[in-house]
A and B are shown apart, each in its own frame.
Chain A
């Protein structure tokens, strides 16, 4: 990825990619990670056969300036990636600087990772500890980059992600219909106690999964 599309050949820690799957022949998911690194338990896109699905990805740049895209499907898929920016490498020290991570899974209500092992109730909220987990620093973090996925929704709805302890805003991050699996990247402000709140705006229950791929430093 480095050296192309105005991305410098070196000094890049992560790139912002909009990844789209096209013409999948079977259901599956895509995991995007640093070239040459171990493929993590995380996903970026989910699709069923024939669907065109994009998602923004903040991908760490691995060996040789590469990003690996893994097709976790029994079928084939076309992949498209559009770059819209990059982060400078080095330890993030100043306010507003980005530290790329993993990705790693911080939340999975299907197995009790990061929250109780249960579907999120209708109009329920999950408070997710993000600081001090998945290599996110314990303090000095203003926001985290999360890929949030809904699974097994029993009714249509939306998810709003916001800083824990702050007023829930009039905004949404994911929209879904019954039984859909839908991910979206979220830049979530970190609220009180280093937590992020995820609100299920649906009359049905839903499983929530969140993979962290980086953080922004506070001052």
Chain B
């Protein structure tokens, strides 16, 4: 029932080649495997690797993922299974002392977290997430400071779900606790949950995943008509639509989830858009410095409506400071540049717009040109400056409305990989009006081309 009931054999890296200091490092620990059963543990680990690396968004992040298994010998096989919650009463001698039936719930499988963390730290000091693999075919799992899962049918799905808790602080999105009739779970009350994938807030404008909600999707998208039970009706919107669905975080009503379904609600289904983004935000910055992540276009700025800035036209020679990091699916940190489609509308005089990194010196460069009354868009790859901001300068003696839609971002770091992007403060390379970079078009002999 303690570490006296076994011993640590050693670690083996079973996937990945990223430097441990710059990767998401998963550690799998063997629990309830005897010496003779270590090969069984090794096989289970490979099943996990296969499932993990084919599950979005992990499938796009494998360059930044390492997976280690730590073989640990237990004296006996399996896990404790108390009769009080309907178990067999087994009490095998195992290294991490795993047991079913925690909190009176049979499926809640826990272990000695401190021992698991101690072993993980000793074997893989830079671990990102620890999963304890329990040698039992009975269904169970949990996700606290370490994730725990058994080898029941769909074991790897349990593992992926529990790692959602352990590594990313994702909440359970299912609307019950123990199941059955449980009046205490009818109505959520209390402050806004801290987890990124459940909410008690049903106001579109302040919804924490509002960036992922199409304007055409109703908020709430589904209300539970009977709070004494969970809502079993089918979704009114196509699968994958992000909205606001009542029933989440163990409550039938008053708590909401982002999509109809998600791996944090049911096993065997994909992670929802919001959970995928949370995971990507965590691992993405580790993946490829200079790598690009595509986003569904999202309107970050619209001075006509007050989105992203004060409502009202930008003043003559005025600058808008636009927060981009942490908005519209752009991670809160680790972003070098964003792809923005910037549109000017209702300009009252001719002018141009210069887009540059927040807090940086405004360069001699321009992105849009317009005359009075014109609507003109242009794509901009804008460096992200201090505080995750982008500055938009209106050069005109008149005012102008500005709109900006984000469609992707480039990760910061030191870009070295083939195809990686290095963001630069805008700089003028060519201006045939002044002869910069090319001959004066009207006096070709005036300046030779200095392009190398």
0/1 string, A78-93, CB within 8 A of B gives 1: 1111111111111111
Which one of B240, B377, B421 lies within 8 Å of A98 (CB-CB)? B421
Q: Are B294 and A88 in contact (CB under 8 A)?
A: no
Task: Tell me, yes or no, whether A188 is within 8 Å of chain B by CB.
Answer: yes
Interface hits, B396-443 → A, CB 8 Å: 403, 405, 407-408, 410-411, 415-433, 437-438, 441
Interface residues on B, range: 35 or more
* B297→A160 contact, CB < 8 A: yes
- CB-CB under 8 A from B43, the residues of chain A are none
A60 to chain B, nearest CB (A): 12
B217 at the interface (CB under 8 A from A): yes
CB-CB under 8 A from B426, the residues of chain A are 18, 82-84
Q: Is the CB of B418 within 8 A of A92?
A: yes
A85 lies within 8 A of B424 (CB)? yes
Q: Are B379 and A96 in contact (CB-based, < 8 A)? A: no
Residue of B241, B292, B381 ringed by the most chain A CB atoms within 10 A: B292
Interface centre among B240, B297, B365, B424 (most CB of A within 10 A): B297
Does chain B have a CB within 8 A of A26? no
- The dominant DSSP class at the B interface is strand
Contact with B along A60-98 (1 / 0, CB 8 A): 000011100100000010111111111111111111111
User: Is the C-beta of A186 less than 8 angstroms from some C-beta in chain B?
Assistant: yes
**Stretch in A113-121, A124-132, A171-179, A203-211 with 4+ CB within 8 Å of B:** A171-179
Q: Are A55 and B433 within 8 A (Cβ)?
A: no
Closest chain A residue to B337, Cβ basis: A85
Q: Is A133 located at the chain interface by the 8 A CB criterion?
A: no
Residues of A within 8 A of B430 (CB): 69, 79-81
- Are B215's CB and A170's CB within 8 A? yes
In the bound complex, do residue A186 and residue B341 qualify as a contact, i.e. CB atoms below 8 Å apart?
yes
Cβ of B296 and Cβ of A84 under 8 Å apart? no
Shortest distance in angstroms between A89's beta carbon and chain B's nearest beta carbon?
Answer: 7
Contact of B367 with A98 in the complex, beta carbons under 8 Å: no
B380/A18 in contact, CB under 8 A: yes
Q: Which of A14-72 contact B (CB under 8 A)?
A: 16-18, 20, 22-23, 52-56, 64-66, 69
- B185: min CB distance to chain A, Å: 32
**CB-nearest residue of chain B to A81:** B430
Q: Once bound together, how far apart are the Cα atoms of A56 and B61, in whole Å?
A: 29
- Beta-carbon nearest neighbor of A142 in chain B: B294
Structural contact, B341 and A171, CB atoms closer than 8 A:
yes
The answer to the question of A187 belonging to the interface, with a C-beta cut-off of 8 Å to chain B, is yes
Please tell me if the beta carbons of A168 and B417 are within 8 angstroms of each other in the complex: no
The total of Cβ contacts below 8 Å across the A-B interface reads 256
Cβ–Cβ contact A80 & B431, under 8 A: yes
Give the CA-CA distance A93 to B428 in the complex, in Å. Answer: 31
A95 to B382, CA, bound (A): 21
Interface status of A181 (Cβ within 8 A of chain B): no
Which residues of A are found within 8 Å of B410, using beta-carbon distances?
A: 85, 96
**B residues apposed to A, CB below 8 Å:** 57, 59-63, 214-217, 240-241, 287-288, 290-299, 337, 339, 341, 343, 345, 352, 363, 365-369, 375-383, 403, 405, 407-408, 410-411, 415-433, 437-438, 441, 451-452
**Given contact pairs A18-B426, A169-B405, A185-B379, a sample of 12 additional A-B residue pairs in the complex whose CB atoms are under 8 Å apart:** A18-B378, A56-B378, A79-B432, A83-B424, A83-B429, A84-B424, A85-B337, A162-B296, A170-B215, A175-B345, A188-B407, A190-B294
Q: Can you list 28 A-B pairs, Cβ within 8 angstroms, ordered by A?
A: A5-B429, A80-B428, A80-B431, A82-B367, A84-B382, A84-B424, A86-B424, A92-B417, A93-B418, A94-B63, A94-B287, A94-B417, A95-B61, A95-B287, A95-B291, A96-B292, A98-B419, A163-B296, A170-B214, A170-B215, A170-B299, A171-B299, A172-B343, A175-B377, A187-B379, A189-B296, A219-B57, A219-B59
Task: Give the B-binding residues of A (Cβ under 8 A).
Answer: 1-7, 9, 13, 16-18, 20, 22-23, 52-56, 64-66, 69, 76, 78-99, 142-143, 160-163, 166-175, 177, 184-190, 216-219
